[in-house]
Chain A
Amino acid sequence: MRNAYLDQFPDEARVIKAAFWSSFIALAIGGVLGLVQALHRTDVFRFIQSPDYYTVLTAHGVLLVIVFTIFFLVGTFTWAVTTSLDRGVVDTRFTWAWYIMMVIGAALAGITIFSGFLESAPSILGSELNADVLFTFYAPLEAHPFFYIGLVVFVVGSWLAGVDWFRTWLAWRRENPDERIPLPTFMVLTTTLFWYICTLGVSLSILVFLLPWSLGITESVNPLLTRTMFWYFGHAVVYFWLMPAYLMWYTMLPKFSGGKLFSDPLARVVFVLFLLLSTPLGIHHQYLDPGIAEGYKFIAMTNTMFLLLPSLLTAFTVVASMEHGARQRGGEGYLGWLKALPWRDPIFTGMALAGLMFAAAGFSGMINAGMNINYLVHNTWWVVGHFHLTVGTAVALTFMAASYWFIPQLTGKELWNRSVALGQVVLWFIGMTFMTNAMHRSGLFGLPRRTAEPQYQGFDFEPAVGTVGEINMQVALGAVILTLSLALFLLNMVMTSIGSNSESIPDNTYADTLSGAEDSPRILDNLKLWTAIAVVLVIIAYTLPLASIIDAGGLFGPDIEGFRLSTWVDPAVIESLSEVIR
C-alpha cells in the first residue's frame, strides 16, 4: 500500500498543492525580473526605461520575499503539523479560506505594482494605481491604497493560517493530553508566535498611518516612526522565511542522509531562542538612521550577536546528523564519510548546498551586524549579495529541493527527472557563487544597491581589486545561470504534475531522533512562558526608541505629505532638467 501524504490527507494535500503553486508562480515571475535587473544595472542589456527599473525591483522584492516565501511556508507548515500530529486540520474549509485570502491580498498588491508599467495607469479611489515604493515602502514615498490593503489582507491570511495550526494542535492535545509536542509542530507553533509579535508592528504602521494617509484621511506621517515600525517586523520576517528551511534541515535532511536527527532537545532550544530574539533587534537595520540614540542601536547589536547562537547550534546539529547518516551508509574516516552521502539525490544535495551557502552568508552577516563596519557597506551591493545567499539560496534552494520531495507526496506522481533536478540545484549554487561574489566585492568600493544606473557623471568607482566591467560581467553571468536553473526547476514541476500516477512514492515520514523529546525538560514546551518573555524583551528594546521618536516628531510627523513620485512630475521635464545639470 502506498502511504504518501496524498493518501493520508487528500483534502489537505489539495490546499498545500495550491499554496506551493502560488509560490512557484511568484518565483517564476520574480526570478525573470531578477534577470532583467541584473542585465539593466550592469548595462549589459537594457530594454526598459530606467524609471521602470524601480517598478521591476518593487515586484522582484515583493513577489520573492513576501509572496514566494510565505506561500511556501504555509504549505510546509500545514504539511508539518498534520504529518507530525498524525491528524488532519480541524476544518479544511477554514484552511481554504485563509489560503484564498492570501491569494486575494497578493493579487491586489501585485496588480497595483504591475500597473506601474502602464503608460497611463487607471485612476481608482482618486489616485493613480501604482506602487513604485519597493518592498520596504518607506514613507513619504506613497503607494496606492490597494498596495497597502493587499499587504494587510495577505498578512491577516497568514494569521488565520496560524490559527489553523494552533487549532489543530489543541484538538490533538485533547486527544493526547500527556504527550510532548512533536518536534515539527513545536517548530511551527514557535515560529507562528513570533510572526504574530512582529507583524503587529507593520500592520499597525499600515492601518494607523500609511493607509489613512494614502487615502487622504490623514495629512502627514512621521517617516522615522513608520520606518522603525517596518523594521520591527523587517528582521523577524527574515527568520520567518528561514524557519521552514530550518524545519526541513532538522526534520528531513537527516532522513535523506540516511540517519537520524542528532538531538531533539537542542532543536527545541534553537526554536525557543528564535521566538525570544527575532524581534527585539530590528533596529540593527537602522544603524545609519538619525533620530535614534546610539544606546538603542547597541541593544539591537547585542541581541543580534546572541541570535548567532541558534544558527551555530543548527550548523552543529545538521552536520552531526549528516555524519550520522553517512556512517549508517557505511562511511568511514575523519572526512571520508562525506563520500558516503547521497550526492546523487537532488533533495539531499540541494539542501546541503543551501546550508553551505548559508554558512558563507553568516560571515557577511556578521560584518553587517557590526555597528561600525556597517557604515562601509550599508545599502551597498554587499548587502544584496548577503541576502541572495540567505533568502535567495539558503531559503529558496532549500524550498526548491524540498519541492522535489513534496510534489510527489502531494500529487502521487513520481518526479519527472531526477538528473535534471540534480543539475538544477547545482546550477543554482554555481550561479549564486558568481553573482554574490561580485556583489559583495562591489559593495566594498561603495556600489549602491537599488540603483538603475550606478554609472555616475562626476566620479568613477575605484575597486581595490579588478575592474567594474569585470564585476558587471560576473553578475550578468551568474544571473543567466540562475535563470536557467529556475527554468529547469519549473519545467520539472510542470512535467511532474502532468505525469501519471505512480505506486512507488515513498512513505510520508520525517526523521527520527537519536536523542528524543524525553531527554528535554518539559519547560521547553511551555509556549505561554516563552511568549511572555519574548513580549517583555520586545517592550524593553522598543518602548524607549519609539517614545523618543514620537516625542520628537509627533505621531503624524511635522506636516509631511506623500510623494507619488511616478506621477509627481512629467518625466520628460526631469530628463531635460538632468541633461542640463550634467
Chain B
Amino acid sequence: MDNFMRQGPLNDLGLVGRTSEDNAQVTMGDGGRPMVVNLRLDPANKAAMKAVATLVGVDLPQKANYFVEGKETEVHWLAPDEWMIVSQNMEGNELVSKLDEALDGVHHSAVNVSDNFAVITVEGEKARALLQKAIPLDLHPREFHTGMSTQTHAAKTNVILQQVSDAPFYKLYVRRSFSQYLWAWLESGSIGFGLAISS
C-alpha cells in the first residue's frame, strides 16, 4: 500500500528500463517528487523576510524570473509577493509549521503543494530546440539562462520552467494530472533529435 501511495505521476509511463535511441541529442527524465512549499508574503516586511531567510537558508529572491539556492533549498520567484520553496530533503508540512510559527501575526500564506507537481527534466544539445517548440518564451541564453526560473505555458499546460545548468539542463514543474500529457507532447516533439531516458 505504502509503495503504491508513493508512486509518482509519471510511473505509468514505464520509464525505468526504457531503451534510449542511439546518438540521442535530448535526454528526458522523471525529476522525482521534491518538497514544494508555496509562500506568499509582503516583501516590504523586512523582519518577516529575514525570518523566512533564516529558515530556508537564503534570502528570498526579489528579482523577477530568478531562483536562488540555499543550503538545502531552492527558492523560486513566482510573483512580487509569492515564492516556491523546493527541497530534496526537507519535509513540507514540517517547513510549513515552522514558517507559520516564524510568521505568527504576519499576514502570509504557506502551503505544502508537494503533491501538486511532477517534475520533468530535459537536457542535452537539442533540449532548448525541443522546449522552444512548446514554450512561447525566448529561451536563447541572452534572454533565459542558468539561474532563471519562471511560470509560463508549455503546449497547453502551465509549467514552471527552470534552467539548472548551461548543458543545458531544464526542469519543468507541471501539474501532476497534466504531466503525462506534457511528457507525450515533448516525446513526440523530440522525433528527429533522438531521445534518451535518464534513469
Partners in one complex: no
On A, residues with C-beta under 8 Å from B are none
On B, residues with C-beta under 8 Å from A are none
